[in-house]
Structure 1
Amino acid sequence: MSARRPLRVAAFILAALGVMAQAAVAEAPARSPRPLIRPDLMVTAHRVEATARSTGRVAIAASLRPAERPEKLFRVASERRRAVIAGNSKGGRVALCGDPEIVGNAIQPIPAKLDGCGLSDGVMVISVAGVALTTPASVDCRTARALKTWIESGVKPAFHRKRGGVHALRVAASYSCRTRNNVKGAKVSEHGRGRAIDISAVLLGDGSVVTVENGWGSKKHGKALSTMRSAACGPFKTVLGPGSDRYHDDHFHLDTARRRGAYCR
């Protein structure tokens, strides 16, 4: 009997431990509860977030905008300058120098390649008073307006009865940075300042062409060409053509040189 008693006691203890373990498992929750957030910490967190947002807005508002690049400023200035030169538009055409009869485009300033050259406020003219230019002429506004006056008062009247009248003028030269007559060491030509235009022929409405070189002195067109040249003296300050020198036998040179009187030969 005494030998079996310790065994019974051990069995009883093991059984009791098993029951306690089962009870502990049965009472354990399926998920451990998370610790609750303290109210004072929640208030602090909200304050930190609000402060961060406010600080960010202030920093953005106080930040400096990037400085405008020089080329942007130059482009804006050029656009404003072209708008002033252009003046207005008529029938989808761009009117230059405040005159709807002078049609073309304002151009960017042309830098000087030689001392005394350059065109800071030039326009590219494609037609004047309804007369087309075979090559767009780059000149200043004073020269463009002189060209219009000459076409209306001299060119059109001289050819108004000839084969449909004047349709176009052949441009031999306009802006060109060079010396006078391309002579080395000579003064800068008015072409180099955007103040000159060379005309070598008149194109009539029927398609015929009257050149200065062949028409000058001829019975058919000599009088009309002479009338054209005489009418240019006034609107232009310098008028050169056949007979003035060997450089102008095949065209009329017309410029608005800044001088008191006119020089017409």
Structure 2
Amino acid sequence: MSAIPGKIKGCGVENPVSVTSVAGIPLSRAATMDCNTAITLHNWVEKGVKPAVGRLGGGVARIDVISGYSCRTRNNQKGKRISEHGKGKAVDISGITLANGVSISVLKGWNSKAQGKLLRAMHQSACGPFGTVLGPSANSFHRDHFHFDTAKYRSGSYCK
């Protein structure tokens, strides 16, 4: 894709890509991000999602994405710093859909016995490859999705 100029100071992506599938699994919607974030997402799907799900329900058929690039502040809060979404370094995942049609959603499954363990394994496997990993335990803004971004921190990944 062509470079995306920011509408707000600090936003924009120099070398964006539009991702429609990852590791052979379609996304529910195209997500725009930088190449590093796309590669990190691919690695997470291969090393975290696919092993966690295995053959359950016939395997992963779709990854449910709710956001990629979006020029905005953190949590859309006025006066906050620019979100990593505004830099093309973040993606929000609301769940996965299995081949048998069963949906595993972060909102409904996080605290369930059946799906909670699987969602927690996927969340944990993102910690390290991604710089920031947020989910329902982080705050109310993330109760219905995982936020993954490739921000770099001196102390390592921030995961909650």
1:258 aligns with 2:152: yes
1:249 aligns with 2:143: yes
Tell me the CA shift for residue 227 of structure 1.
0.2
Tell me the CA shift for residue 162 of structure 1.
1.2
Q: 4+ residue stretches of structure 1 with deviation over 4 A?
A: none
Q: 1:188: which partner in 2?
A: 82
Aligned letter for 1:264? C
Q: Which one has the largest radius of gyration? A: 1
Q: CA RMSD in A?
A: 0.8
- Point out where structure 2 has 5 or more consecutive residues left out of the alignment: none
1:202 aligns with 2:96: yes
1:169 aligns with 2:88: no
1:233 aligns with 2:127: yes
Tell me the CA shift for residue 183 of structure 1.
0.4
State the distance in 2 between where 1:161 and 1:121 align.
36
Tell me the CA shift for residue 161 of structure 1.
2.9
Q: 1:111: which partner in 2?
A: 5
- Point out where structure 1 has 5 or more consecutive residues left out of the alignment: 1-106
**TM-score of the superposed pair, with normalisation by structure 2:** 0.97
**TM-score of the superposed pair, with normalisation by structure 1:** 0.59
SS in 2 for 1:221: helix
Larger relative strand fraction: 2
1:137 aligns with 2:31: yes
SS in 2 for 1:220: helix
Q: 2:46: which partner in 1?
A: 152
Matches within 5 A, 1:65-80: none
Aligned letter for 2:158? Y
Matches within 5 A, 1:53-92: none
Larger relative helix fraction: 1
Q: 2:106: which partner in 1?
A: 212
The count of corresponding residues between Structure 1 and Structure 2 is 159
- CA-to-aligned-CA distance 1:49-92 (integer Å, 9 cap, x gap): xxxxxxxxxxxxxxxxxxxxxxxxxxxxxxxxxxxxxxxxxxxx
State the distance in 2 between where 1:108 and 1:243 align.
36
Tell me the CA shift for residue 163 of structure 1.
0.4
Aligned letter for 2:94? S
Tell me the CA shift for residue 259 of structure 1.
2.2
Tell me the CA shift for residue 219 of structure 1.
1.4
The share of aligned pairs that are identical, in percent, is 52
State the distance in 2 between where 1:110 and 1:220 align.
41
State the distance in 2 between where 1:129 and 1:239 align.
20
- CA-to-aligned-CA distance 1:115-174 (integer Å, 9 cap, x gap): 100011000011111111111110001100100110011111111131001111110100
Q: Which has the higher contact order (CA 8 A, sep 6+)?
A: 2
